[in-house]
């Protein structure tokens, strides 16, 4: 009887261990996929704005506002998509370890990029547009330079 209980306990412990390891890996993978999706959305919105800056598309305050909203909304929650343990997963990630050792500064970078995207939402003329886009771009650059490994 006691031996059976012991065996059951060991089996249970093993199951818990396996499930939690698999769970942790899954959390990492999910977070990586989610944040890469968020970054892709931001990237597309930036391309729309860049086309205006490059004069490939006309200045349209409506388009600017929608794109800026996408960027701001995505940035608002993006810092949460880097939970502990999501430095690796089944999907390739370029996130550097410093994100998790330097968390406060990392979050601050997101906040300032978010603020720049919010400011862009109220840009209605072409004169202010360039500087506002530059501010968002600087936000992207600062954070990526520090916390992202080069892609090949």
Partner 1 sequence: MKRPSRARRIAAALALGAVLVAAVFLFLFLILTTARPSGRVVPAHAPDLANGETLFHAGGCIGCHEPPSGAEDAGLPTGGASFPTPMGTFYPGNLTPDPDTGIGRWTAEAFLDAMTEGVSPDGRHYFPAFPYTSYRNMRVEDMLDLRAYLMSLPPVRSSQRDPDIAMVGLARRTMGLWKRLAFRGRGFRIDPERSATWNRGAYLVQGPGHCGECHTPRNALMILDDARRLEGGAHPGGEGQVPSLRDLLGRGRYKDVADLTLAMQFGETFGYDNLSSGGMAEVQMNLARLPEADLRAISEYLLSLH
DSSP string, 60-72: -HHHHHHHHHHHH
Tokens of 110: 């997101």
Q: Does residue number 141 form part of the binding site for partner 1 (CB under 8 A)?
A: yes
Q: Does residue number 43 form part of the binding site for partner 1 (CB under 8 A)?
A: yes
Q: Does residue number 88 form part of the binding site for partner 1 (CB under 8 A)?
A: no
Q: Which of residues 44-83 bind partner 1 (CB under 8 A)?
A: 46-47, 50, 53-54
Part of the chain binding partner 1 (CB under 8 A), chosen from 4-12, 65-73, 118-126, 140-148: 140-148
Q: Does residue number 136 form part of the binding site for partner 1 (CB under 8 A)?
A: yes
Using an 8 Å Cβ cutoff, are 132 and 120 in contact? yes
Taking the complex as a whole, the smallest distance from the CB of residue 142 to partner 1 amounts, in Å, to 7
Q: Does residue number 101 form part of the binding site for partner 1 (CB under 8 A)?
A: no
CA distance 35 to 21: 21
Phi and psi (nearest 5°) for 118?
-65, -40
CA distance 142 to 48: 21
Part of the chain binding partner 1 (CB under 8 A), chosen from 5-13, 74-82, 83-91, 136-144: 136-144
CA distances from 131 to 106, 119, 126, 151 (A): 23, 11, 10, 28
Taking the complex as a whole, the smallest distance from the CB of residue 123 to partner 1 amounts, in Å, to 14
Sketch the per residue contact string, 4 through 23, with partner 1: x for CB under 8 A, - otherwise: --------------------
Contacts of 116 (CB under 8 A, 6+ apart): 132, 135, 136, 138, 139
CA distance 142 to 130: 18
Q: Which residues bind partner 1 (CB under 8 A)?
A: 43, 46-47, 50, 53-54, 94, 96, 133-134, 136-138, 140-142, 144-145, 148-152
């Amino acid at each position: 009887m006691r031996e059976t209980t012991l065996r059951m306990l060991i089996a249970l412990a093993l199951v818990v261990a396996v499930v939690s390891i698999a769970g942790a890996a899954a959390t990492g993978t999910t977070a990586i996929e989610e944040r890469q999706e968020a970054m892709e959305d931001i990237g597309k919105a930036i391309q729309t704005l860049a086309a205006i800056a490059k004069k490939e598309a006309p200045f349209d305050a409506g388009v600017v506002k929608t794109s800026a909203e996408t960027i701001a909304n995505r940035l608002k929650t993006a810092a949460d998509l880097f939970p502990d343990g999501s430095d690796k997963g089944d999907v390739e990630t370029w996130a550097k370890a410093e994100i998790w050792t330097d968390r406060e500064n990392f979050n601050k970078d997101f906040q300032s990029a978010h603020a720049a995207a919010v400011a862009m939402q109220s840009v209605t003329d072409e004169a202010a547009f360039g500087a506002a886009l530059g501010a968002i771009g600087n936000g992207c650059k600062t954070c990526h330079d520090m916390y992202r490994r080069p892609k090949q």
